[in-house]
Structure formats: C-alpha cells, structure tokens
Chain A
Amino acid sequence: MDLSLSDEQKQLQESAERFAREKYTFDNRRKIVATERGWLPENWAQFAELGWLGMAFSEEDGGYGGGPIETMIVMEQFGKGLVLEPFLPTVVLGGGMIARAGSADQKAALLAPMIEGKKQFAFAWLERQSRYNLADVSLKATKEGNGWSLSGHKGVVYNAASADEIIVLARTAGSAREPKGLTLFVVDAKAKGLSRRDYPTQDALRASELTFDKVSVGADAVLGKVDDAFPTVEEAVDRAIVALCAEATGCMDAINAATLEYIKTRKQFGVAIGKFQVLQHRMVDCFTNAQEARSMTLMASLKIDDKDPTVRAKAASGAKVQIGKSGKFCGQSAVQMHGGMGVTDEMAVSHYFKRLTMIDLMFGNQQHHLTRYSNLAMAA
C-alpha cells in the first residue's frame, strides 16, 4: 500500500495549484463570472496545452494514460479557486462516456478534438420529475428512417450554452423509470428543434433548460448500444461524483483556511476571537471534517476503476455522503465564525459555501446517497 503521489502527480498538483491561485483571485473570478460565457477560452486553451483535458484517458483513446487520481488532483485545486471552466461536464462526463461507450469513429470525431480543447460537451439527463433517479427519463427518441427523432425536456444542463454537442439520455423503450430502454445520443448543440433557456446557477456556473421538439439525428448519433445506456450513465455519474468530491475537498480547505485566518485576526473583547474555546473547538471540527472528506474522496478515487460496479457505486455514494456532511459543516461554520461578513456577497466564504451547498444537491444529496449505499451494503 502506498498513498503518496508520484513525482508526475506532484507536478500536476503544483501546476493546478498555481493556475487556481494566479487565475482565480477573488476579483478575477468576479470578472470571469461577468463575461458572456461565464468562463475564459484562454484558460481552456491552457488546460489543453497542459494536457489536463486528456490526462485521464488511455493512450489508445488519444489521452495521456492517467486516471481518477489525476482527475482528483486537478479537481481539488479547481475547488480551491472556485474555477468556472466546464471541466466536469466536458471532460469527466462527456469525455468519460465517449471513452467508455463510443465507437472508434465517435472517439476520433469527438474525443480527440476535446483533448485538444476544440470541443465541449454538456450532459442532459435530468428532467423535472427525475430528482436523483438517473432512470427517471421520459424524453422520447423514436425511430425515424435510419435515424431518430427526439422530443421532450431536459433541465439544469450545465454548460449547454457553450457546448458543441449535447449528450442526451433518452427513452427508446421500456416504461417510466425502467433502467432498461435508455439510449444516449450525441446531438449537435445547434440542431434544429432544440431550444434553450440559459441561466446562472446559485454558485455562478451556467446551465440551461432544453426543449427538444422533433430533433432529428442520424443512426451514428447513438452513443453505445440502443436501450442499454444505463450502465454507462451510472458509471459516468459515479465518476463525476468522485470528481465533485475532490472539488469539494478543495473548497473545504480554502474555506477552512480563510476562517482560520479570520479568527486569528478578528478582535472582539480585546483579543482575537480564535482565543475563545468555543471557536477553537469548532475550528478543530472543521479541520477534522475536511480530513474525513479528503480520506473518503481518496478511497473513492482508488476504487472507482474497480471492475465490480457495486464496489464502485458504494465508494462513490460513500464519498458523496461524507462530502455532503463535511461540506455543510465547514460551510455553515465558516459563515458563523465570520459573523455578518460571512453572509455578504463581498467575502469569498459565502461563495465557497454556495458551491459546497450546490455540490451536495448535484447527482443526489447526502440522504440520497446514504440510502443508495445502505441498499447496496444490505444486498451484499
């Protein structure tokens, strides 16, 4: 057993840390939030140049042969900087599903340009009624000549406004909420019949509601096997969850560091408020929570490649439960210890708090994953 990073991984960590520190100062981030896209093309080009867009993919897929640990390293630093570039939807979700289920042609047409920084993706799975159930999909794809016609609605689709292709989870057979009968389609973001309503999210990312009105796609738009997308989706989402957990650990480190600094310098009753035991113990609990979050994220990153889907799913859900719990504790505590300053838009803590809160809501909150873990553990 060895839980230390290799030299290459350490270098990756340093360069990601430097990127977040230099490009994502509080003021810079504010400016990026205000741009039309909500992220910077020059940063994306830098990701490509540094090899971050291809690091987690195999060499035969045109990547650099890394894996979940590399993703964890980069996502953690993105969490520290509250980085806005759409790495999760494009690389982890989109790239991940294409690498797993795509044909050689699709990999050449989609994955290769993605690794070069020339294509971005969005993943449209959620619908109004879905909550956290990945199989609760009613957007219909029906046969139309050699191809398919898609009609229905998708919600809270991150990066849809910037994506070149939308990867859409559609029902091709089976009844509501049946895992069997789901198919993934790669749809041109500018396809006729596809309309968007764009908006910012609570944590300053960009998402959209999508309406598909008889959107026609060819047979080659199918990603993987018809009616059999669910295992691909479940695995991709588990991987995205672990990446989000890594991002959350970075957020927790940053918010804890800011709070520690604040309670060391903020004076009341003639002393730094960090001299009060009630705050000291709370700060220790924050530190412990962040440690537990890091541990569970590392464990999940190490288990996510396991061939047994149950091992993988339990690891992802277990980490998500921990991140939900720890993120809430660190976020709420940071705001409380900052006092009034913590609830203003002017302080970084409130922005980390929002991101941690939204991470809990993405792909199933703490309660959802506790239930999922519990069901898997009881079945064993």
Chain B
Amino acid sequence: MDLSLKPEHKAFAEEVRAFARENLSPATREKTFSGKHYDRDDHIVWQKALGKKGWLAYTWPKKYGGPGWDVTQRFLFENVLAEEGAPRILPFGPKMVGPVIYTFGTEEQKERFLPGIRSSEVSWCQGYSEPGAGSDLANLRTRAVREGDHYIVNGQKTWTSFAHWGDWIFCLVRTNTEVKAQEGISFLLIDMKTPGVTVRPIIMTDGAHHVNDVFLDNVKVPVENLIGKENEGWTCAKFLLANERLGIAEVPSSKRGVSMLRQIARIEPQDGGTLADDPAFTAQIADIDLQVQALEMSELRVLSTMAQGGAPGPEVSTLKVRGSEIQQRIAELTMEAVGEYAQPYQPGMLFHDTNETPIGPDHAPPAAPRYFNMRKTSIYGGSTEIQKNIVSKMVLGL
C-alpha cells in the first residue's frame, strides 16, 4: 500500500495540467471560479479539445478508443481538471451511453456511435425518468411498438438534462406490457431530429434552464437503434446507473469548493477582521473538508478494487449519498459565508456576459442560487432514499 505518486504519475499530472492551461478557454475557466453558468460552447469546445487529444472518453479501454488509463491516472486527470477550473465532462455520452454501447452493442453500433461520443461531435441526453417513473424507474410507460423495421415510440420523458443541446437521446422504453415491469423494457437510441420529438424547458428554482420535458409523439425509430436484445434493456439501465453512481460523488469539484470557501472566508469581513478569524465558522469548513477526505479515500478504495479486476458493488451507493450531502453542505456554508449579500438575486451575473459590477462581493451572485440548486443532488441519479434502500438490501442483507 502506498499513497504517494510514482514519478511517471507526477509527470502525467503535469501533462494534464499543461493541456488544460493550453486548451481551456480563459472565459470558461473564469465562469468556474466565479460560479457563472456555462453555455453550450463552454462545454462543447472544451470537450472537443479533450476528444482530439483522445482524453474525452477517459474511462474507456484502449480497444474502444479510450486511453486505457489506470485508476491513478483517472483520479489525477479528474482532480487536475477540477483544480484548473474545467467544466465537468457532460456524462451522457462518454460516461453513460458509450460504455453501454461498447458493452451491449453490436459491432455496427460501436462503429456508428462511439467515434461521435469520443470526439464530442455528437451530444447525448438521457431519457430515463418519466412523470410517473422517478424513484420507481421500472414503472416507465413510454411505449415502443414494433412496426416492420421500425419502432413507433410514444410517451414523455422528464428531467432530461441538456435535451435542448442534445443530438441524440438514449431512452428506456416499454416494449412488452404483459410481463413484470423490469422484463418489458428496451434500450433505444433516438435521433432528436426525428419528427415527433419535442423539448419543453423546465425552469429550476435558481432560474436556470438545464432540464427539460421531452415529448415523444409517434416517433419512428429504426430497429437497428435498439441496444442489446428487445425486453432486456433493464440490464443496460442498471449497468449505466452503477457507473453513474460512481462518478456522481463529484469529489474533485467538492475539493475545489472547499478551497474556494476558505478563500471567501478570508475575504468576507466580520467585526473588523474577516470570517477566517471566526473559529465557529472555520471549524465548520474543517468539518466538511474532513468529510470530503473520507469520501475521497472511500472512492479510492473502490477504484483500487476495480483496478484488481473487481466490479463496483452496491456499496457505491454510499458514495453517492455522501457526495451529494457534501456538495449541498459546501454550497450552504458558502452562502452563509456571504451572509446578507446572498440576498440580492442577480441573474445577469449568473447567465450572461455582462460589464455590470455585482451587488456585494464578486462571489456573492451565485451563492444562494447554488445552494437552492444543489438540493437536486440528493434527488437525481437515484434519490438518497433509494440509495439507502439499495445499501440496506444489497450490502447489509436487511
């Protein structure tokens, strides 16, 4: 056992850092550290640069065009990029549907879809949740009926992040209504340009538009877009969710959040000094800092098991639960650090390029909206309640 890095890993980290400094646009980087919302280009331009370097699909094996990195390299890659202020890689292509395609897809499907995911030429979104299928995902109703060499798809997906930027959507659809809920589901890829696909924005509590309803009205989908066998989509769905839970703990961005919080505490005035002089407040930062370390080390232990050839087990659900609580707590402490000046609502400072000066300190505008918005982390990707059910059943045998 050894926590220290080998020289080749140190060199690798420096290579990643140099790449980020060269390729990440200063405007995008600035948005990260000022808490502004990214627009489409912030994500896509950066992802294309990563794609060109062969680093976008960084978790993929070499066989499918990934870099074939070991877990230490992946860990360093994620951390260095977070430190450098890179936007997170939108997971829908490289982390979600990509691995499903190379694990369950045909050779033709791999050839057709993987290159666009690796390069970020094609943007993906996730058609899982429905109005009646949230925590109870298997209850989904979107129906796909086979007619010749097509499926005709009808239904509604919801909470679809970045559907408004998506070229393709991967959907769970019901292909058999006669069997147990999980047994009649198929995994289908749908071109968003197909007639009958409509995207309606959902505005979140912070005023942002990230998620959408997606309506599917007699959408004609070729059968060659089916991944795996018909009615066996639940296997793909679960495989994808297990992958999602691993990355969703967002440890690198939480580490960045803690250091930004300390920076804010050093600036925020209080009683002639700064908030950094207030032990009641700095102790709360220390507490969350230690929680992040516990989470990171737990994640590293899972990754280490995977490096020995093991698969991530249901215990990764605990990482998701703690990861979301930690993100929420950092956002909460950041808002409290700003204090009274977290009250002005300044959408211009969050969503647009503007020459206006912010009301209050530069770090004030995103503080409260981020706190409100981060409540979603214990809801999406399987709510905390669902994750705890998984752990109690699958890990503890209760």
Binding site for B on A (CB under 8 A): 126, 128-133, 136, 155-156, 176-177, 197, 199-202, 204, 207, 209, 267-269, 273, 276, 278-279, 332, 335-336, 339-340, 342-346, 350, 353-354, 357-358, 361-362, 365, 367, 371
With most chain B CB atoms within 10 A of its CB, the pick from A200, A209, A279, A345 is A345
Cβ-defined contact, B379 with A342, below 8 A: yes
B393 contacts chain A at the CB level, 8 A cutoff: no
CB distance from A93 to the nearest CB of B (A): 15
The verdict on A199 contacting B345 (CB below 8 Å), with A268-B139, A269-B136, A367-B281 known, is: yes
B378-398 interface bits toward A, Cβ cutoff 8 Å, 1 = contact, 0 = none: 111001110010000000000
From B272, B343, B375, A207 is in contact (CB under 8 Å) with B343
Measured between beta carbons, the chain A residues less than 8 angstroms from B205 are 343-345, 350, 353-354
Measured between beta carbons, the chain A residues less than 8 angstroms from B379 are 335-336, 339-340, 342-343
CB distance from B132 to the nearest CB of A (A): 8
Cβ-defined contact, B344 with A367, below 8 A: no
B202 contacts chain A at the CB level, 8 A cutoff: yes
B336 contacts chain A at the CB level, 8 A cutoff: yes
Cβ-defined contact, B134 with A339, below 8 A: yes
B26 contacts chain A at the CB level, 8 A cutoff: no
What residue in chain A is nearest B207 (Cβ atoms)?
A345
B176-220 interface bits toward A, Cβ cutoff 8 Å, 1 = contact, 0 = none: 000000000000000000000000001111010001000000000
What residue in chain B is nearest A175 (Cβ atoms)?
B272
From A131, A339, A354, B372 is in contact (CB under 8 Å) with A354
The verdict on A129 contacting B134 (CB below 8 Å), with A155-B360, A156-B344, A343-B379 known, is: no
With most chain A CB atoms within 10 A of its CB, the pick from B159, B379, B384 is B379
B354-378 interface bits toward A, Cβ cutoff 8 Å, 1 = contact, 0 = none: 0000011100000011011101101
The verdict on A156 contacting B343 (CB below 8 Å), with A276-B385, A279-B385 known, is: yes
Task: Give Cα distance in the complex from A114 to B235, angstroms.
Answer: 68
Cβ-defined contact, A343 with B375, below 8 A: yes
Task: Give Cα distance in the complex from A181 to B225, angstroms.
Answer: 76
The verdict on A202 contacting B378 (CB below 8 Å), with A155-B341, A197-B359, A367-B336 known, is: no
From A200, A268, A335, B136 is in contact (CB under 8 Å) with A268
Measured between beta carbons, the chain B residues less than 8 angstroms from A345 are 203-205, 207
Measured between beta carbons, the chain B residues less than 8 angstroms from A129 are 269
Cβ-defined contact, A344 with B202, below 8 A: yes
What are some 8 contacts across the A-B interface (CB < 8 A)?
A131-B268, A132-B339, A155-B359, A199-B345, A199-B346, A201-B344, A276-B385, A339-B135
Cβ-defined contact, A361 with B339, below 8 A: yes
B interface secondary structure, majority? mixed
Cβ-defined contact, A340 with B203, below 8 A: no
B8 contacts chain A at the CB level, 8 A cutoff: no
The verdict on A336 contacting B207 (CB below 8 Å), with A357-B368, A367-B336 known, is: no
Cβ-defined contact, A268 with B135, below 8 A: yes
CB distance from A320 to the nearest CB of B (A): 14
Cβ-defined contact, B344 with A361, below 8 A: no
B129 contacts chain A at the CB level, 8 A cutoff: yes
B3 contacts chain A at the CB level, 8 A cutoff: no
Task: Give Cα distance in the complex from A132 to B340, angstroms.
Answer: 8
A interface secondary structure, majority? mixed
B342 contacts chain A at the CB level, 8 A cutoff: yes
Task: Give Cα distance in the complex from A285 to B359, angstroms.
Answer: 37
B133-148 interface bits toward A, Cβ cutoff 8 Å, 1 = contact, 0 = none: 0111001000000000
Which interface class (under 10, 10 to 19, 20 to 34, 35 or more) fits B? 35 or more
The verdict on A344 contacting B204 (CB below 8 Å), with A197-B359, A201-B343, A371-B280 known, is: yes
Task: Give Cα distance in the complex from A353 to B205, angstroms.
Answer: 10
B158 contacts chain A at the CB level, 8 A cutoff: yes
Task: Give Cα distance in the complex from A57 to B391, angstroms.
Answer: 59
Q: Which 7 A-B pairs have the closest CB atoms?
A: A268-B136, A350-B205, A129-B269, A345-B203, A201-B343, A335-B375, A343-B376
With most chain A CB atoms within 10 A of its CB, the pick from B341, B369, B373 is B341
Measured between beta carbons, the chain A residues less than 8 angstroms from B108 are none
Cβ-defined contact, B159 with A340, below 8 A: yes
B263 contacts chain A at the CB level, 8 A cutoff: no
With most chain A CB atoms within 10 A of its CB, the pick from B211, B271, B280 is B271
Measured between beta carbons, the chain A residues less than 8 angstroms from B359 are 155, 197, 199, 209
B270 contacts chain A at the CB level, 8 A cutoff: yes
Cβ-defined contact, A332 with B375, below 8 A: yes
Measured between beta carbons, the chain A residues less than 8 angstroms from B345 are 199-202, 204
From A126, A136, A155, A201, B271 is in contact (CB under 8 Å) with A136
CB distance from A287 to the nearest CB of B (A): 19
Besides A128-B341, A177-B272, 18 other CB < 8 A contacts? A128-B269, A131-B269, A131-B270, A155-B341, A176-B272, A197-B359, A199-B359, A202-B368, A336-B383, A339-B379, A340-B134, A340-B376, A340-B379, A342-B375, A344-B203, A344-B204, A353-B375, A365-B339
CB distance from B191 to the nearest CB of A (A): 26
What residue in chain A is nearest B275 (Cβ atoms)?
A131
What residue in chain B is nearest A197 (Cβ atoms)?
B359
Task: Give Cα distance in the complex from A207 to B139, angstroms.
Answer: 46
With most chain B CB atoms within 10 A of its CB, the pick from A202, A276, A345, A353 is A202
From B361, B368, B369, B375, A336 is in contact (CB under 8 Å) with B375
